[in-house]
Amino acid sequence: MTLYRNLTIGQKQIVWAWAFLAIPVLFYVVIRFYPTGTAIVISFQEWNLLGSRSWTGLDNYKKLWHDPVFWKVFRNTFAYLLLGTPVSLIVSFVIAYHLDKLRFMHGFLRMLYFLPFMTSAVAMAWVWRWFYQAVPIGLFNNILAGFGIAQIEFLNSTTHALPAVLAPAVWAGLGFQIIIFMAGIRAIPTSYYEAAKIDGVGWWMVLTQITIPLLRPTIVFIVVFSSIGFLRIFDHVFNMTTGNPGGPLNATKPLVLMIYDTAFTGFDMGYAAAQTVVLFTILLVVSLIQLRLLKSN
């Protein structure tokens, strides 16, 4: 205690700071950084969880390169990204743009759009799975039948299954993106719009020359945030395709589901770890490219 009293104010601050940080720093080292290293190390090993680990060099990565399932999964993962991100970005912007101009029951409408964000992915995956069933079970096909339209094979089709699985993921995320967009639109100073009004500029010009350019930071945030979400899609796919994981001919299988299957059904830990390293690299590269592209100018 006397030792502490003899310290200067600056030194006391250092002592306090590290006292506050001791447990958290330990946590981040043990629960975040050490496991990251372990995952990379295991990716160069062969291990089935029971036997001993053995070094295999790049074998897991070579195996991945020659695995047709991996390339199918790779395409699927990017299909989720390339379909999901633009669709949810455009739909949420259009809704936010128009919702911002309404005052009558504004809060109620906003609530309707936001409600799906508060649901759990697992619960909603099962609800949508029921919607997609064939006549006479599924809601969508029953409605189609009511209009005399031919049935659609949703989850059992190799072509329709992926968008069908993606739809509830987009649906659940829309509310969040709409709220963020509306906050972004509100933050644009009204003086810009007043100036445009005085100059008699049309709404399309206002939208493309004022609103969208000034929303750039919001758009960057939403694109990066939703891209990461779609690249990591798992809950919806897992729950909509239990019994046939990954859908017909792996039509819906994303990378995270492949990782889960390899690690916790096949217990091929080395191979699964190599897949997680690939996922990490994809996430890093995609985020960096997007930040670069969208932040330039």
Partner 1 sequence: MVVAENITASSRTLLDSEPAPKPRNMGQIIRWLVLFLGGILMVMPIAYMISTSLKWPHEVYNVNLIPEEPTLDNYAFVLEDGRFYLWFLNSGIIATITTISNLLFDSLVGYTLCKFRFPGRMIVFIAILSTLMIPTEMLVIPWYLMSQSFGWLDSYWGIMFPGLMTGFGTFLMKQFFESVPDDFIEAARIDGLNELQIWWTVAMPLVKPALAALAIFVFLGNWTAFLWPLIVTNSTEMYTIPVGLSGFGDEADVAWELIMTGAAISTIPTLVVFLIFQRFIIRGVVMAGLKG
Q: List C-alpha distances in Å: 141 to 33, 55, 168, 231, 248.
A: 49, 52, 17, 29, 19
- In the shown chain, the binding pattern of residues 73 to 102 toward partner 1, with x for contact by CB under 8 A and - for none, equals ----------------------x--xx-xx
- Using CB under 8 A as the binding rule, whether residue 23 contacts partner 1 is answered as yes
Q: Which residue matches tokens 């190390």? A: 41
- Using CB under 8 A as the binding rule, whether residue 183 contacts partner 1 is answered as yes
Q: Which of 79, 134, 152, 179 binds partner 1 (CB under 8 A)?
A: 179
Closest Cα to residue 168, out of 239, 231, 221, 103?
239
- Using CB under 8 A as the binding rule, whether residue 265 contacts partner 1 is answered as no
Give the binding range for partner 1 (CB under 8 A) out of 20-28, 158-166, 204-212, 245-253: 20-28
Footprint on residues 110-169 left by partner 1 (CB under 8 A): 110-124, 126-131, 133, 136-137, 139, 142-143, 146, 168
- Using CB under 8 A as the binding rule, whether residue 274 contacts partner 1 is answered as no
Cross-strand partners of 46? 54
Is 62 in contact with 147 (CB distance < 8 Å)? no
- Using CB under 8 A as the binding rule, whether residue 276 contacts partner 1 is answered as yes
The string of DSSP codes covering 270-282 is: HHHHHHHHHHHHH
Tell me how far, at minimum, the Cβ of 279 lies from partner 1, in Å. 6
Closest Cα to residue 46, out of 62, 65, 34?
62
Chain center to CA of 252: 16
Distance, in Å, from the CA atom of 105 to the CA atom of 80, rounded to the nearest integer, reads: 34
Tell me how far, at minimum, the Cβ of 38 lies from partner 1, in Å. 4
Footprint on residues 30-59 left by partner 1 (CB under 8 A): 31-36, 38-39, 42
Tell me how far, at minimum, the Cβ of 82 lies from partner 1, in Å. 19
Between 91 and 210, name the residue whose CB sits nearer to partner 1. 91
